[in-house]
Structure 1
Amino acid sequence: MKNTKWLLLMALTLVLSIFLAACGGTDDKKEDTTKDDGKDENATETPAKEDGEPDAEQILNLAESAAIPSVDSAIVEDAVGFNVLNNVNEGLYRLDQENKAIPAMASEEATESEDGLTYTFKLRDAKWSDGTPVTAEDFVFAWQRAIDPATGSPYGPFMMSGTVKNATAISEGKMDKKELGIVAKDEKTLEVTLERPVPYFLSLMSFGTFYPQKEAFVTEKGDAYATNSDNLLYNGPFTLTDWDGTGGSWVYKKNDEYWDAENVKLTQINVNVVQDSATAVKLYKDGKLDRAGVSGDLAMQYSTDEEAVLQPETSVFYMKFNQEKGGKETPLANENIRKAIAKSFQKEDLADVVLANGSLPANFLVPKDFAYDEDGKDFRELSGDHLEYNAEEAKDLWAAGLKELGVDSLELEILGGDTDLSKKMDEYFKSQLETNLEGLTIKLKEVPFAVRLELDGNQDYDIQISGWGPDFQDPISFLDLFVTDGTNNLMSYSNPEYDKLIADSKGDLALKPAERYEAFAKAEKILLDEDAAIAPIYQRGLIFLEKPYFKGLVSHPFGADYSFKWAYISGKE
């Protein structure tokens, strides 16, 4: 989400200062299937045996990082909204406990045409919370509404344009929304036509923007739709109650109309907004929360606590090197200068001592434990490490760069956040770079997140601490950021060979998975080893305090942060 972790991922400023969604599970992962006893063949069962059977009262008390802005699937663009949506509604597919996209509202795996352009989905017998059936027309209506310019959806055009047939023209007002490539063949059959083969298309089907909406209900509610919990319909594991549209608390209750309700163990989840980590920890210690996020200085303090849970994430942070400012080349247009800086700071110490929250040093852009080839091999194994710390090599590159520029010293500015931890990290970079690169002076510009976004948009910076989190499971979610003139490039980086590899991955290689991944690996090598367009820093981790009786919470590496569907309480005294 462009305004949260999801898309233009809050960079360092917000990430390190805000107590993120105090519910998560192991940042993403876990499930089983059964085919007997009259159960749906795609029904799932909580893996309770090894952790104890659900017992006691199945009520949780959790915290969120902010109030809910919206639960309208066409309008949602923030982490909290997508988290809520993921637990009270459901699309054609859902991420399971192993973060694999599996049929949800779809009753079976989709049928794909040989050319990869048409998908046919058969819907299961599922109901809305008012007892009416979920139909193929509900998906048609919701997708058309999300792409309609009149709706003003932030994610509809972003997710569908260039993917679903005619979406781009419709979003630009050049074609009627009814021409979108989605058709209800009958009440339980949905056909989707794409602009091009999209290897990760079924992964997209678990994303909130693609959820169904009941046209009659939305029309009846008009402007009041999705303004509070009474003006919403639900087809997911839980319903939303006690949300007035503005308040700092809400309640999830088990949805008895949900198709897989027998495997939903929790009966109620009470959620309160808690923005301050210290407050969350106190509530946790007082027994008023079952899970609490810790950040900043508290992360190190509680990292060894017996109830601490390290939660790895798929958000990667890096330095952006701006090569042009005010129409003129900057010193960072010099390849050797960029490489020198990228290799001159110790990432392990930063992750272990400064961050101390389970974050991993990153010698890559595409994160670990995120994208896998057809054989299940992590993309990181294929692509390897890039731009590793090497102070001696950095010194040689720096000297060569200065010589090429005809100078013996440089002054550069790092644009970062204004939180205490952000400032500590920036000071760390300043110390490392000035120590290892003779003649370099680093100035620090520490500003609020909104200001940083403005400076980024105007390309008014030298070096910027930035980051990205994926919305779908594919390396291109990261690599597409740095194509020439890309909307998120904003640093005047350009490499025709890189651009071609990314374009090929969407074209000729779209249906050739092995060759496509090889292209991605080549692209990452060009971006990092050859050009040092950016300097990777770390893959984010988070620390939570979690009661030992809180079991089965599943966290996700893309899309919504977490699912409560398989969570339960066991062993609570």
Structure 2
Amino acid sequence: MKTKRLALSAISASFLAGVLSVSSVQSAEVPAGVKLAKKQEIVRVNGSEPSSLDPQKIEGVPGAYVTRDLFEGLVSDSPGGGTVPGIAESWSADKTKTIYTFKIRKNAKWSNGDPITAHDFVYSFQRAVDPKLASNYSWYMELAEIKNASAIIKGKKKPSELAVRAVDDYTFEVTLNKAIPYFVRMMAHYTTFPVHKATIEKYGNKWTLPSNIVSSGAYKLKDWAVNERIVLERNSHYWNDKETVINKVTYLPIVDRNTELNRYRAGDVDMGYERIALEHFRRLKKEIPNEVKVTGRASIYYYAFNNKRKPFNDVRVRKALSLAIDRDVVASKILGQGQIPTFNFTPNNLDGFVPPANPYAKMTQQQRDAEAIKLLKEVGFGKDKPLSFTLLYNTDDNHKKIAIAISSMWKKKLGAKVNLENQEWKTYLDNKRLGNYDVARAGWNGDYNEASTMLDLLTSNNSLNGSQYRNKEYDALLAKAKTAENPSEYYTKAEAIIARDMPVAPIYQDVTTRLIKPYVGGYKGNPLDNTYTKNYYIIAH
């Protein structure tokens, strides 16, 4: 779900040459003189229990972290930013930049020793768009402009008609509808990871069980005790295994941040999840500053309105609720970890994005509140006739604190009656995706370093557009951006439409705050928070 990759200018330059490849690969880089611990094992907190470990069915950060250890795609994201070869050792594009050819490593193998071939990628790409699988990320293949993906997802063509083919066992070819400058870096996303056809055909939905799964990455699944732990061990068949240092990875599904901190302090955890408990952050920054890692993130925290449900189908109601949120209080007082208050859906640290002038951002909070009261009054709501609704959020201490604060703002300023409802991760995801809510806590982490990774989420055909927002003008702008020499102007116009229609209420641009023991080497934060355990090593301590 994320990555920092080659800058657009660098990619464009490489396009001119017609060949896109790099010599470096992603691996653990142990500095000279560093003494490694004899026991190379790491315990990582993974937030909620993953909804799946199937690359084509994952939705959410918890599953993404584990899957990036278990599987590998054509390319990967380097720790410091950039795109590096994965299972593909090189790639090239034709003159039109619509036909890409990837050369598969001949020493790439599955965890059971089978060779990984171009046929595996053909199967996996076709599987990702197959309506029978109903992948929550099938739209990603549309976004990548792979020819026939859209028609297949809509049931108008067969999965076998997706424009991918194995030229030979080690040459994989992809044909696009149109050239897009960021296609290669999109291939680092887990939806494009290869899966083992024979295993899936033999075990069906149970193929990801430890006794059945066959994977392609640096690690293989040893044990999965639901709601207790996920244990991975080194995959000796991985093509770059000799550069891997960590032998065992344990993921703990700890939701409660205080519990996470206690386990970390007790020495049970080496690497925390993506957020430190708010009430402890400032103190920890003073006590153990070298263990508190803060990284700017291409991520937005927002509240989604159900645009199809009354009264949220009225833009005035949506705007009133959005304007009444004091973003400065949320970012600075409640969080205070470096989050940036925003009215934009697109983070300002993504390549090629120029935010539009937003009239609400220039107002004082008092002016916003006055406008919010006026808008609700126009619809017929006020303190004498309160707006009443339910705010949904997934179980998490930070989400709860924010929900309590914002609901209090709505009550105090607008007289709204808000019922708070929290649900565990899987249930929350299902209800948000299906639109079974009034207003819902939401967040989005960029999948690649370009503005479309955020803005495409609100297009009409995106299966993850849980806000039920539909706007043809908005869709057209995003479609034009894909082939534009300078897509920035279309992104700016699209962002302006979001400000006008307010289908969601952007609240703040997020950061990653993570606890990491000083003996864990190799960690480099990046805006897309793509972390791979194979890059780490344990220092003698």
Per the alignment, residue 394 of structure 1 pairs with: 368
Structure-1 separation of matches of 2:117 and 2:210? 22
> Partner amino acid for 1:448?
N
Q: Which residue of structure 2 aligns with residue 446 of structure 1?
A: 420
Query: How is 1:358-377 mapped onto 2 (pairs within 5 angstroms)?
Result: 358-369=338-349, 371-373=350-352
1:274 aligns with 2:258: no
1:430 deviation in Å? 4.8
Query: Counterpart of 1:125?
Result: 106
Superposed displacement of residue 448, structure 1: 2.4
The alpha carbon displacement at 1:201 in A equals: 2.1
Structure 1 residue 520: Cα displacement: 0.3
Query: CA 1:180–1:556 in structure 2 vs 1: closer, same or farther (change >3 Å)?
Result: farther
For the pair 1:89 / 2:66, whether they are aligned, the reply is: no
Match of 2:533 in 1: 564
In structure 2, give the amino acid aligned to 1:148. D
Pick closer, same or farther for the CA change 1:460–1:565 going to 2, 3 Å: closer
Does the residue aligned with 2:89 lie in a helix, a strand or coil? coil
**Contact 1:551–1:567 (8 Å) recurs in 2:** yes
For residues 164 and 235 of structure 1, the distance between their equivalents in structure 2, rounded to whole angstroms, comes to 23
Q: TM-score, normalised by structure 2?
A: 0.80
Q: Match of 1:264?
A: 244
Contact 1:239 1:254 in 2 (8 A): yes
Contact 2:459 2:470 (8 Å CA) reproduced: yes
SS of equivalent to 1:562: coil
| Letter of the 1:222 counterpart | Y
Q: Specify whether residues 305 and 495 from structure 1 end up closer, same or farther in structure 2 by C-alpha distance, changes over 3 A only.
A: same
Alpha-carbon displacement from aligned partner over 1:188-208 (angstroms, at most 9, x marks no partner): 111111234344322221112
1:553 aligns with 2:527: no
Cα distance in 2 for partners of 1:386, 1:350 equals 20
Q: Which residue of 2 aligns with 1:466?
A: 442
SS in structure 1 at match of 2:371: helix
1:274-297 CA distance string (max 9 Å, x none): 333333222221222112343354
1:524 aligns with 2:495: yes
Q: Which residue of 1 aligns with 2:232?
A: 252
Deviation of 1:211 after TM superposition, in Å, equals 1.6
| Residue number in structure 2 paired with 1:316 | 300
Native 8 Å contact 1:54 1:568 kept in 2: no
CA distance 1:423–1:495, shift in 2 (3 Å): same
Partner SS for 1:387? helix
State the partner residue of 1:80.
62
Relative to structure 1, the CA distance from residue 91 to residue 527 in structure 2 (aligned partners, 3 Å threshold; closer, same or farther) is: same
Say if 1:445 and 1:452 are closer, same or farther in 2 by CA, change over 3 A: farther
- Name 1:43's counterpart in structure 2: 25
SS at match of 1:85: helix
CA contact (8 A) 1:357 1:543 kept: yes
| Alignment CA distance shift 1:460-1:299 (3 Å) | same
Aligned to 2:9: none
Q: Which amino acid aligns with 1:568?
A: Y
Partner of 1:23: none
> What is the match of residue 507 of structure 2?
537
On the 8 A contact 2:392/2:440 being kept in 1, the answer is no
Distance 1:427 1:273 in 2: 24
Indicate yes or no: 2:229 matched with 1:229: no
Q: For the Cα contact (< 8 Å) 1:54–1:265, is it kept in 2?
A: no
Unaligned segments of structure 2, at least 5 residues = 7-21
Question: Counterpart amino acid of 2:391?
Answer: G
* SS across alignment from 1:191: strand
After superposition, the C-alpha distances for 1:176-196 in whole angstroms (9 at most, x for unaligned) are 332221111112111111234
Question: Does 2:366 match 1:416?
Answer: no
| CA deviation map 1:451-487 (0-9, x unaligned) | 79748855763x5543333334432232234456876
Matched, 1:428 2:397: no
- Structure 1 residue matching 2:106: 3-state secondary structure: coil
Q: In 1, are the aligned partners of 2:338 and 2:511 still within 8 Å (CA)?
A: yes
The 1:308/1:273 distance shift into structure 2, 3 A limit, reads same
Contact 1:90 1:211 in 2 (8 A): yes
State the distance in 2 between where 1:533 and 1:142 align. Answer: 34
Check whether the contact 1:308–1:546 (CA below 8 A) recurs between aligned residues: yes
Q: Match for residue 192 of structure 1?
A: 174
| TM-score of the pair, normalised by structure 1 | 0.76
Query: 1:378-393 counterparts in 2 under 5 A?
Result: 379=353, 383=356, 387-388=360-361, 390-393=364-367
Report the counterpart of residue 10 of structure 2 in structure 1: none
Identity rate, percent: 26
Match of residue 505, structure 1, among 481, 485, 488: 481
| Greater displacement, 398-407 / 54-63 | 398-407
Aligned with 1:291: secondary structure?
A: coil
Q: Does 1:167 align with 2:140?
A: no
Q: CA 1:304 to 1:213, structure 2 compared with 1: closer, same or farther past 3 Å?
A: same
Distance 1:284 1:146 in 2: 38
Structure 1 residue 84, shift from structure 2 partner: 1.9
Tell me, which stretches of 5 or more residues in structure 1 are unaligned?
1-5, 7-26, 32-39, 374-378
Cα contact 1:417–1:423 (8 A) shared by 2: no
Q: Is the 8 A contact 1:105 1:126 kept in 2?
A: no
Q: Which residue of 2 aligns with 1:477?
A: 453
Report the residue type matching 1:569 in the other structure.
I
Instruction: Indicate whether 1:116 and 2:89 are aligned.
Output: no
- How many residues were matched structurally? 512
Distance between the aligned counterparts of 1:259 and 1:522, measured in 2? 45
Query: SS of 2:73's equivalent?
Result: coil
Instruction: Report what 2:17 is aligned to.
Output: none
Q: Which amino acid is the alignment partner of residue 299 of structure 2?
A: S
Paired residues of 2:278 and 2:334 also in contact (CA < 8 A): no
Q: SS at the partner of 2:348?
A: coil
1:504 Cα offset (Å): 1.9
Whole-angstrom CA distance in 1 between matches of 2:64 and 2:303: 28
| Kept in 1: contact 2:4–2:81 (CA 8 A) | yes
Give per-residue Cα distances to partners, 1:272-321, cap 9 Å, x unaligned: 43333333222221222112343354445545441322344333123445
Give, in whole Å, the separation in 2 of the partners of 1:182 and 1:246. Answer: 36
For the residue of structure 2 that corresponds to 1:504, the secondary structure is: helix
Whole-angstrom distance in 2 between the partners of 1:428 and 1:49: 46
